[in-house]
């Protein structure tokens, strides 16, 4: 069956069936014009979770196609995929991981799978993350284009086969429609072929993390957007639409934990076994420093501006809970332990305060004496604070 699948992929991006799962909308006209002009290096950025992190996936296949399509053009790439991260993390790390590398001409973004299976976001949270990415990107790159891509996991495939739309895809598509962005629904396209008996989920496509053939399937849909997009007659700035959700993370940014003042036994040092003795540490986090406390009652204070505050944490086997009070308000408890924390220092964003008045705030944060039943301790490990 795999040989039939490979053959089908060669023509799928041109078929009427594929068109049902690819929404060109305004397309990527500025990007096409820049690529055809070949007057300067053209910057393409990929943002997402582990599906984007795979060096042999669409972040390699799309560039290969672009080089063949535009042989005279020099392309430069930012590949900002980090495993387990959701669109919330994406919105807050966009500035440091993507924007810091210079103006971006095309952003290819995927978070549907991690918003579904890792973060378990409800629709508002998934929408705030992607909308935040879109608005921040458009403000900094007013002539840049975006392709929104929805990859898929087994549960999402089952929903598509039942003619249901997963929550994360609903949320992201609502953003895509509102901002008239091109979008690629890998999940619905694949589910259609699985239902028709043409392919299998695991053997042919490869699973949640696709195999080479599965990635080519997705890449052909992505490049199909570029190939079908109109070309801008003149490069022009996009008008940013009014917010779909006023609480989106469009002003998201990282805040160095060293900006906080702390009391008690907090330790700040390089990510490694010396400071995180339990659980696997992924290599991509060893470039960070982490602020850690294991003792309930240890407190820190942080001043920030915006309408939301979060923390990007490594939640390992001993991960505990955070208690937070903003502007002398009531204390609330935020759990950092995750279902994947048992053997891994799991990267995740936790929101400490939202729906705040837009302005300056003072947060008091302390290690809770409460903990998850499966946790071995009370540790709080903060890589970065997140302010919007």
Percent of the chain residues past pLDDT 70, beyond the cut: 95
CA dihedral 153, 218, 132, 94 (to 10 degrees): 100
- For residue 247, being part of any structural domain is answered with no
Same domain membership, residue 217 and residue 267: no
Q: Burial level of 339, CB count in 10 A (0-12/13-18/19+)? A: exposed
In 296-370, where do the E strands start and end? 299-306, 309-315, 321-326, 332-335, 346-353, 359-367
- For residue 246, being part of any structural domain is answered with no
> What is the rounded distance in angstroms from the CA atom of residue 129 to the CA atom of residue 146?
15
Region 57-65: what's the mean pLDDT? 98
Task: Output the domain CATH number for residue 314.
Answer: 2.60.120.260
Structure token digits, residue 79: 């590949």
Region 24-29: what's the mean pLDDT? 97
- For residue 350, being part of any structural domain is answered with yes
Structure token digits, residue 377: 């301790």
Same domain membership, residue 161 and residue 17: yes
Residue 366 has pLDDT above 70, yes or no: yes
Region 217-221: what's the mean pLDDT? 96
Same domain membership, residue 158 and residue 294: no
Same domain membership, residue 218 and residue 295: no
- For residue 234, being part of any structural domain is answered with no
Last residue of a domain, one of 193, 228, 263: 228
Same domain membership, residue 191 and residue 48: yes
- Number of separate domains in the chain: 2
How high is the mean pLDDT of the chain? Answer: 94
Confidence of residue 123 (pLDDT cuts 50, 70, 90): very high
- For residue 20, being part of any structural domain is answered with yes
pLDDT at 264: 86
pLDDT in tens, 298-323: 999 999 999 999 999 999 999 999 99
Residue 168 has pLDDT above 80, yes or no: yes
Percent of the chain residues past pLDDT 90, beyond the cut: 94
Q: Burial level of 176, CB count in 10 A (0-12/13-18/19+)? A: buried
Alpha-helical regions (H) of the chain: 2-12, 16-19, 29-37, 50-53, 58-69, 87-97, 112-117, 123-140, 154-161, 167-178, 186-195, 212-228
Residue 14 has pLDDT above 80, yes or no: no
Same domain membership, residue 121 and residue 84: yes
Same domain membership, residue 199 and residue 328: no
Region 183-190: what's the mean pLDDT? 97
Confidence of residue 13 (pLDDT cuts 50, 70, 90): very low
Choose among 53, 49, 59: nearest CA to 110.
Answer: 49
Same domain membership, residue 168 and residue 307: no
Residue 324 has pLDDT above 80, yes or no: yes
Same domain membership, residue 264 and residue 201: no
| CB contact burial 228-255 (16+ within 10 A = b; e otherwise) | bbeebeeeeebeeeeebbebbbbbbbbb
Same domain membership, residue 337 and residue 261: yes
Same domain membership, residue 221 and residue 258: no
SS3 track for 136-162: HHHHHCCCCEEEEEECCCHHHHHHHHC
- For residue 242, being part of any structural domain is answered with no
Confidence of residue 18 (pLDDT cuts 50, 70, 90): low
- For residue 245, being part of any structural domain is answered with no
- For residue 184, being part of any structural domain is answered with yes
Choose among 114, 100, 49, 92: nearest CA to 284.
Answer: 49
What is the residue range of 379's domain? 253-387
Task: Output the domain CATH number for residue 88.
Answer: 3.40.50.1110
């Amino acid at each position: 069956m795999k040989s039939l699948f490979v053959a089908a992929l060669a023509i799928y991006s041109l078929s009427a069936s594929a068109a049902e799962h690819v929404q060109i909308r305004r397309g990527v006209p500025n990007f096409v014009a820049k690529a055809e002009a070949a007057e300067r290096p053209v910057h393409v950025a990929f943002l997402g979770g582990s599906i984007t992190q795979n060096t042999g996936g669409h972040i390699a296949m799309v560039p290969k196609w672009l080089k063949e399509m535009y042989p005279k053009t020099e392309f430069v790439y930012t590949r900002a995929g980090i495993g387990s991260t959701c669109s919330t993390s994406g919105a807050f790390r966009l500035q440091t991981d993507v924007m810091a590398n210079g103006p971006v001409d095309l952003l290819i973004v995927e978070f549907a799978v991690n918003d579904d299976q890792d973060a378990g976001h409800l629709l508002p949270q998934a929408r705030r993350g992607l909308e935040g990415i879109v608005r921040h990107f458009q403000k900094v790159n007013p002539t840049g284009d975006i392709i929104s891509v929805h990859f898929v996991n087994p549960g999402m495939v089952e929903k598509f086969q039942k003619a249901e739309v997963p929550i994360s895809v609903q949320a992201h598509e609502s953003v895509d429609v509102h901002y008239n962005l091109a979008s690629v629904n890998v999940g619905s396209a694949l589910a259609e072929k699985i239902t028709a008996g043409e392919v299998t989920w695991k053997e042919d496509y490869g699973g949640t993390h696709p195999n080479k053939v599965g990635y080519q399937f997705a890449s052909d849909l992505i490049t199909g957007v570029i190939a079908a997009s109109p070309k801008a007659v003149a490069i022009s700035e996009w008008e940013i639409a009014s917010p779909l959700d006023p609480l989106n993370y469009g002003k998201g940014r990282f805040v160095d934990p060293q900006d906080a003042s702390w009391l008690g036994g907090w330790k700040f040092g390089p990510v490694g076994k010396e400071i995180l003795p339990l659980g696997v540490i992924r290599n991509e986090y060893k470039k960070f420093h982490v602020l850690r406390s294991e003792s309930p009652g240890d407190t820190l204070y942080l001043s920030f501006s915006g309408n939301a505050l979060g923390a990007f944490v490594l939640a390992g086997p001993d991960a505990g809970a955070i208690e937070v009070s903003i502007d002398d308000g009531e204390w609330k408890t935020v759990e950092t332990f995750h279902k994947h924390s048992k053997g891994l220092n799991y990267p995740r964003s936790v929101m400490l305060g939202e729906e705040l008045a837009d302005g300056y705030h003072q947060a008091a944060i302390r290690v809770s004496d409460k903990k998850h039943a499966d946790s071995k301790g009370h540790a709080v490990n903060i890589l970065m604070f997140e302010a919007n």
